[in-house]
Structure 1
């Protein structure tokens, strides 16, 4: 039994995820020499050293990192095993819980529907889900749930994809609004079968339709379009996609994205036959990693209560690189067009409504379809991170993809991800300076 667990709800707390989302940017110092750099036999010596330094007794059982340059398959760096008691080597095809890296997947699928005219970016959500027509808003953010006022305007599809809808999130909210959401099964995702402080997020409502209906009955924490506040907007977008397409959300992703993009190992539920590829997830108790979700008994072997469009996917480094490469190549991969170019260009640009600025601790940035959009020195960089130590980013200007996959919560408990950011920048800049 795990004793004296600290608040592992920190695993997805309001600032931890935000800080990790800014990791792995490669800056604007790159040049046209990148094309010549693609011929280099090895492009990530510092990242390689970082991974080797962090894998082993007293560190992590296994880590996978990758760097992909234009016109070239990603270079993968995989060290260690899928768990401290799992001897299978970790590989680019090992399965990882990617948590909030699900959000860009859901949002880009929505942007494709926008590009095809199935819905509009500034379309009110209530035109698809009528229960969201007359929303009430807390007079004070995270304050009373009875002191309310009518929303100043409708929630739009843009708002859902940019966390400006005013919808709450139990990993962010505090006070009675958080308790109300938990009581109604509006929980952020699944972590473990364990019942222990900090690990039990509550029992989720069953069914994406029931989730949406219950969410419509909860007050908003801010008027739509006025504030960036991390939310369940992408979970609700999953239900929007179902209604717009007339197809279950998971099947729509499978048929419209995963199959044509060659993403063969991305699921909301890990098939039993593939469980041997699933890594172990750990809770960080100080410097000690304690297993909280092991492959043979993982909660991800069960059908989820509802399809978490904001946090529910399990994927592999190879699969997620294909998603990033699809974006870098403006919607095509392997000669197949998966997304319209307009969907990719819009989705990876700053979509924030006027007046809804990013929090200061996120640095110079905007927000696109489910992911942070860099500005200034990081202009053109789009991506997001996951609650269990994963990061995926793409430089849309130069076609570079970068990733790191570990499994530990909370993701800021150790210095792995900030060190990865520094090593990655140094690798890319050194590569260009010598060619």
Structure 2
């Protein structure tokens, strides 16, 4: 039994997760390990092609799609988003982050495409979720937890957001999550295609990501994992089963966290980034676009203010960028992100390393759970031995 299998089995055996699929790769050496089952009780063994709600691991894929439009000259990072999202043409900002939602001033600058890409548009989650201007993101927009069938249709969602004040002026602060959903709407408005159509045509099909999408077809529900939360008194509770929230297309496809996928599909996306936008000889994205995605864009003060989410590390487009080795797995230049449903995917461009972990228990806060940390520590020193 491999060392990675022993790690996964330990977390399955102690009841932390029903199952998991993990991948560690360097170049052509790829190790994939499967443990446990797709649901509590063990009736359906986990398989390599099991489908997971990847949550915020969706974010890098959405950012890559925006950069495809930039490469094509259909928009530029400096462009105001109001050209395509007129609902946000005249945003207002709360006077201070703790001010009531009706104590506002006009935004000093328009929101740009770059502001959406680097999460500095003024919308999103700060370290303090109790701030008045944050509450509508939960109550009106259903930003958490992921419940795709509860979210209003795209145009209505954006209309509601337009009535919510910014927490900071554009460009001033990093705030989590909402900008990825706005990226998804931007992609649709610029391209004239729905977000699912654009991602399928320009990213998923060219990369062979045949199992990635915003819902699971009936024919594939037998591969779809169940999703769980942790009870306060201990143990797991079912939050969503295979025939639940993702069994039909949502009215609002969330670029921030709406995708389902498999370990091999996520690996294909990672290989595409490591190939600097080229996949199996076909160029889909420019090397400069990939470099922008995988480069930290934050100031030291912005990183410090986002410690709850970033732990002092940086942020590129759609994912975190490690800038210092706080833990063994923090390799400067490592790029990727975690999903609140217990998923994580990272690359290290300097070494060609890929690490992917797919599990099915919701995180209780932005701090990565012990399973992720143990997996990353293993992957930091491991040499993949193949399957």
**Counterpart Cα distance in 2 of 1:307 and 1:269:** 9
Q: Structure 2 vs 1, CA of residues 397 and 385 (structure 1 numbering), >3 Å: closer, same or farther?
A: same
Aligned to 1:168: 124
Q: Matched residue of 2:314: which SS?
A: strand
Q: Is the 8 A contact 1:225 1:353 kept in 2?
A: no
Aligned to 1:105: 61
Tell whether 2:294 aligns with 1:348: yes
Aligned to 1:386: 339
Deviation at 1:352, TM superposition (A): 3.3
Deviation at 1:101, TM superposition (A): 0.7
Q: Where do residues 337-416 of structure 1 align in structure 2 (5 Å cutoff)?
A: 337-352=283-298, 356-358=302-304, 359-360=306-307, 362-377=310-325, 378-410=331-363, 415-416=370-371
Between stretches 402-411 and 315-324, larger displacement belongs to 402-411
Aligned to 2:26: 69
Count of aligned pairs: 375
Structure 2 residues without counterparts, runs of 5 or longer: 326-330
Tell whether 2:235 aligns with 1:288: yes
TM-score when scaled to structure 1? 0.80
**Counterpart Cα distance in 2 of 1:217 and 1:165:** 15
Q: CA RMSD in A?
A: 2.5
Q: Is the 8 A contact 1:46 1:426 kept in 2?
A: no
Q: Structure 2 vs 1, CA of residues 171 and 408 (structure 1 numbering), >3 Å: closer, same or farther?
A: farther
Between stretches 169-178 and 410-419, larger displacement belongs to 169-178
Q: Matched residue of 2:258: which SS?
A: coil
Q: Is the 8 A contact 2:209 2:265 kept in 1?
A: yes
**Counterpart Cα distance in 2 of 1:381 and 1:124:** 30
Deviation at 1:231, TM superposition (A): 3.4
Q: Is the 8 A contact 1:191 1:293 kept in 2?
A: no
Q: Is the 8 A contact 2:213 2:259 kept in 1?
A: yes
**Counterpart Cα distance in 2 of 1:63 and 1:180:** 34
Deviation at 1:181, TM superposition (A): 3.7
Q: Structure 1, residues 246-287: CA drift from partner, whole Å, max 9, x if none?
A: 111110000000000000100101111111111111111254
Q: Structure 2 vs 1, CA of residues 395 and 413 (structure 1 numbering), >3 Å: closer, same or farther?
A: closer
Tell whether 2:376 aligns with 1:421: yes
Aligned to 2:328: none
Q: Is the 8 A contact 1:108 1:347 kept in 2?
A: yes
TM-score when scaled to structure 2? 0.89
Q: Which has the higher contact order (CA 8 A, sep 6+)?
A: 1
Q: Structure 1, residues 86-140: CA drift from partner, whole Å, max 9, x if none?
A: 5222122100011111111101111121122111112211122122121100112
Q: Is the 8 A contact 1:47 1:427 kept in 2?
A: no
Deviation at 1:184, TM superposition (A): 3.3
Q: Matched residue of 1:318: which SS?
A: helix
**Counterpart Cα distance in 2 of 1:241 and 1:405:** 27
Deviation at 1:403, TM superposition (A): 0.9
